Chains A and B, each alone.
Chain A
């Protein structure tokens, strides 16, 4: 049976047409009738649709009647398209034998395409290049083909020319999947070995785990063990998505499907972990398991204290479905009670914040994102700092996370990229021409430096042509200092930063200037200072408010004027009182707006 199965993923850069192609495959194979198709079925969360990004991986079983007269089972394993989720991508790819590499014929190869394509190569996947959007007048299929060959080193002679939007090439893609991607190997008789590549929480059924079975068989009633967590569960149901959930009797070697086993929380399953039979375990788990940890942290505080409980409940609910997101209660002198939250990256952070505000109707204040610093105290004890204000005054050594950043850029824009990476404390590691007019550069950069405005500046310096990706390298010692911001002489913990010593002066000046613009005039003068240790390095002030009055107020105007005051009152509600100073929310993100 396994010889009629094909397991594959689609890898593509954002907007290169992955979701549209997936829809087209579903439609063509009759998994969904045209009537049932809502645009982009696989991206089921609203946010995913709005941002055009796939956040959660899914797996759909398609049945395809091929030209050779046989009916094949095709398992399409969807992958997230963003660098923040690259570990999840790698686990999805590990569950496949092949991948469609979708490249937009008008855009060419981008950094993410490359990163994911390399991942696919590492996993020995059969890669089928698909050159998409060939219906567009600006499509350059030949040039795109050449770029794929140069950058990834795969033969593109047989690349499928397609337009997912227009339905061109759909059948050719399905035929290529059947002919080129090898069927899964593995034996039903061997001990069970299944890779968890995704999981989520369902209100009615508990945790649903997506697996790829490599060896053995899994069916209801079976006792299973998760090897990394060493926990044992009894399987209640196994099934597939077609694309609706459909229970089946068993999942055999080579198959992809879901398991429901009375697991209460997604934190009790780890993506990348191996499931085996509790009574007849496999000796070696699937390779590549990592316990992933959040890379980026920020504080979330309710703007009004009475929302604290609601925020905690909301964080708890989101965490049910997102094992890569963490939170811990924390207290800030300036902001009161809140939570320090950890994310895989900035996008992940933005998504969580947006969901908290939108789905749970919370008004939140977030502090500037920070990386995790490794600090060796004088006593030799090593601590991790996720909140700059907690950096001790004295320590032996401070280290920060470094990443290797891959940037893809047309050669005309390479100059500004060098300057940008230089400014961000980068060290060049590689420089390669891809084709005649594109360059791939690799830089080792502190993660902290690319957190803030790196991506936006990269885009604006290159008129949007550059793309980037990054991968964690490790911790390295740096000459870092804590930059404190004082308002009327009082340090505001939620505004402190850890910065490189060489940049402290510049950042302090920029930040105080920015805060002067952001902080509205109030009844009293507000003095804004930046300090490193006890040394003041910059000072600005906001003049006190002298005039704020409605000049004319007669009969007809009364309602309008009253509303004006009410609006002003609402505005005040969104401010955070820090001592005698009222700070708007933007103040806490001011640091993101400076270069």
Chain B
């Protein structure tokens, strides 16, 4: 089974799902708490290597590799951080590409190449900067957790605090004043428990917000320095890609249009024009014959009448090829049924439930069905075929299948290639599955933004 998408699909990157506040609190806490030791390592290693590198810079060839080592370490830690911020920021990881030296370049060039890549330096800056920032956020998070847990559970361990006026030998109570004393309240067990529990509640309630804020500060610093440039590059690449798609689309539309016009011109030339010239010729002969041989003139005029009828038939067929009246009047379902009725192969049509769609959608779908059924009749050797169409959101999916011998393909110069161009021109796609021996199935996806409900009333 070969499926040939005409436009490559661009899957949207999966976005991490939202989690509950409690789970998020866990994620954020872990992020900040683990972040601090990482920051310490990052800062310590970074500063040592950079200082060593700077010190050895005098001995050129020794200092540079040390710098490079600093950059590589920074990159390693940065990669860890890029993964860690994903659950915090709840956005997919940005793929960051580090420029490499060209393949086959010498070891010296390979060694120096990180020095020329800005992202390495940003990673290093982050490695140094994260330490003071994380230091602050880590302290706040630990304080909040400690105050919340300690306050809430104070009633359980109040008894364990030394409060004796006469402490055991070796224990020195310097100033055993509690918070109640400061607030001017009697320093009783009940009051202490009440006050500390209240404080614990306050910290507990604010805990998720404070921890989230700290985690966001850390994560945004990392995101900004580590992903910012890459993000911009991706945006530029995305824009370029969508422009390329648009260009390809236009080109396909133009070529489909040009082909259609050429074919129309040929059809006009080979059909009605010839008939009309012949008609004129016959009438001219008839006029000459009138004087000498009225019987011959009558025969010639009869022929002329036949030519006229045939010219009309041909014009009708042609206009059906340009914009079939039944499609405009009754919509895709009726027009497809008409196509099926004209086909030499038995065709089952299933698209009764379709609403009226925009003209371009209906036309594209109609020509897809017409071309496919023509192929079925001409090439497939099939005894039966089926046509179905359904709306999937704002796309119209059209399926045409037959029980023939297969072997249809999208090679240039075949009707299917023109069809693919036509579909690409309107932003759709065509798939053909036609293994040798059959069966053949063709699927077309046509963009369809259903026009407002007015259409329903008009359809009758």
A, B co-complexed: no
